[in-house]
């Protein structure tokens, strides 16, 4: 997504009431512009109004940033969310209401050391995830960074030239696929024409609740899935795409891979490389 919005005092739904609310009347730098906005997501959507205020992120100050103030949020998924808003970092083209994204204003105001941002995501729900603005934290990775071109300046969309299971080419994406790199999607999503083949290779079984499950004792023997991107095979081990749960003394393991819900704009099969990736 590309919009910045926050829970606000203008919203009285349950989802807003359980979060910290921004009150524009208590901000001396806020100005109202009166435009209403509807922001849809893959799961959930909200209504709001636009205004302007000074936004500060990690000491980087953006004056007169257009922001969304929520006026109505549905209970799902926002009531259970641990955040009080969303800061979208995608391109202006998909910004609802024409709001200029925060990062674009940082770039145009020359506020960054380099026009780059990076994420570090901790594992297993542990604390310590990071968003770096203007640089990459070299302490957060090993090896080399591999670069690939953006294929559509909307989402952070890239090309995939191949898909491997345990190092063997499957023919999937041999004619080209597209992928959206998205920290706002927790799972990995695969094109609908490929999802059955992938789940079968994993040995996943569908539960009565619609989830795809595997035997927890077999997780270490499940295949490594690899994406070939700009000539480099990037491996995804089972520890990344299998989630282990504990409930009432029982352990069960689900597959964090599902079908892509977005239509492909290019006609090529579309993946979403979410947090699993």
**Better-scored residue on pLDDT, 265 or 31:** 31
Q: Which of 225, 83, 215, 112 is nearest to 104 (CA)?
A: 112
Provide mean pLDDT across the span 112-125: 91
Task: Please tell me the distance from the alpha carbon of residue 35 to that of residue 6, in angstroms, as a whole number.
Answer: 15
User: Are 70 and 46 a contacting pair, CB within 8 Å?
Assistant: yes
DSSP secondary structure code for residue 174 in this structure: T
pLDDT of residue 262: 83
| Beta carbons of 52 and 27 less than 8 angstroms apart | no
The whole-number average pLDDT for the span 123-143 is: 90
Chain centroid, CA 163 distance in Å = 21
User: Quick check: pTM over 0.75?
Assistant: yes
With 90 as the cut, is the pLDDT of residue 34 above it?
Answer: no
- What local confidence, expressed as pLDDT, does residue 27 receive? 97
Three-state DSSP at 48 gives strand
Cis peptide before 77 (omega within 30 of 0): yes
- Model confidence band, residue 163 (pLDDT cutoffs 50, 70, 90): very high
Residue 125 has pLDDT above 80, yes or no: no
| pLDDT tens digits, 188-247 | 999 999 999 999 999 999 988 888 999 999 999 999 999 999 999 999 999 999 999 888
| Residues paired with residue 49 on neighbouring β-strands, in sequence order | 36, 69
- pLDDT of amino acid 266: 83
Q: Which of 215, 192, 3 is nearest to 91 (CA)?
A: 3
- Alpha-carbon distance of 17 to 13, in angstroms, equals 6
The pLDDT assigned to 77 comes to 87
Residue with tokens 């995830």: 129
Residue 263 has pLDDT above 90, yes or no: no
> In the chain, pLDDT over 70 holds for what percent of residues?
100
Instruction: Say how far apart CA 79 and CA 89 lie, in whole Å.
Output: 23
Q: How far is it, in rounded angstroms, from Cα 2 to Cα 226?
A: 28
Write the CA distances from 76 to 17, 200, 275, integer angstroms.
Answer: 13, 31, 20
Residue 175 has pLDDT above 80, yes or no: yes
In order of their start, the domains of the chain are: 4-111 (2.40.70.10), 113-142 (no CATH), 152-273 (2.40.70.10)
pLDDT of residue 202: 95
Arithmetic mean of pLDDT, 93-99: 94
* Residue 265 confidence (pLDDT): 82
Residue 209 is predicted with a pLDDT of 86
CA distance 123 to 118: 16
Look up residue 215 and give its two tokens. 């035997």
- Is a pLDDT exceeding 80 seen at residue 124? no
Would you place residue 42 in the very low, low, confident or very high pLDDT band (cuts 50, 70, 90)? confident
- pLDDT tens digits, 53-81: 999 999 999 999 999 999 999 888 899 98
Average pLDDT over residues 120-131: 87
DSSP state of 103: H
The full DSSP string for 193-255 is HHHHHHHHHHT-EE-TTS-EEE-GGGGGGSPPEEEEETTEEEEE-HHHHEEEEEETTEEEEEE
Strand partners, 198: none
Span 151-166, average pLDDT: 96
């Amino acid at each position: 997504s590309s919009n910045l919005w926050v829970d606000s005092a203008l919203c009285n739904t349950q989802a807003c009431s359980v979060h910290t609310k921004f009150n524009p009347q208590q901000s001396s730098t806020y100005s109202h512009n009166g435009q209403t906005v509807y922001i849809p997501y893959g799961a959930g959507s909200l209504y709001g109004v636009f205004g302007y205020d000074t936004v500060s992120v990690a000491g980087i100050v953006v004056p007169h940033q257009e922001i969304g103030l929520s006026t109505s949020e549905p209970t799902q998924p926002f009531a259970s969310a641990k955040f009080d808003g969303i800061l979208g970092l995608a391109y202006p083209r998909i910004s609802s209401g024409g709001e200029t994204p925060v990062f674009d204003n940082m770039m145009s105001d020359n506020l960054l050391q380099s026009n780059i941002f990076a994420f570090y995501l901790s594992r297993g729900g542990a604390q310590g995830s990071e968003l770096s603005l203007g640089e990459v934290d070299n302490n957060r990775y090993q090896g080399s960074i591999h670069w690939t071109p953006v294929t559509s300046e909307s989402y952070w969309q890239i090309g995939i030239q191949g898909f491997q299971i345990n190092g063997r080419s499957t023919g999937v994406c041999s004619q080209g696929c597209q992928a959206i790199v998205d920290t706002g999607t927790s799972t990995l999503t695969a094109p609908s024409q490929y999802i059955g083949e992938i789940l079968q290779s994993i040995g996943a079984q569908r539960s009565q609740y619609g989830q795809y499950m595997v035997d927890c004792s077999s997780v270490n023997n499940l295949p490594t899935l690899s994406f070939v991107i700009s000539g480099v095979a990037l491996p995804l081990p089972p520890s990344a795409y299998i989630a282990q749960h504990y409930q009432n003394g029982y352990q069960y393991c689900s597959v964090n891979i599902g079908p892509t819900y977005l239509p492909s704009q290019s006609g090529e099969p579309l993946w979403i490389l979410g947090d699993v990736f």
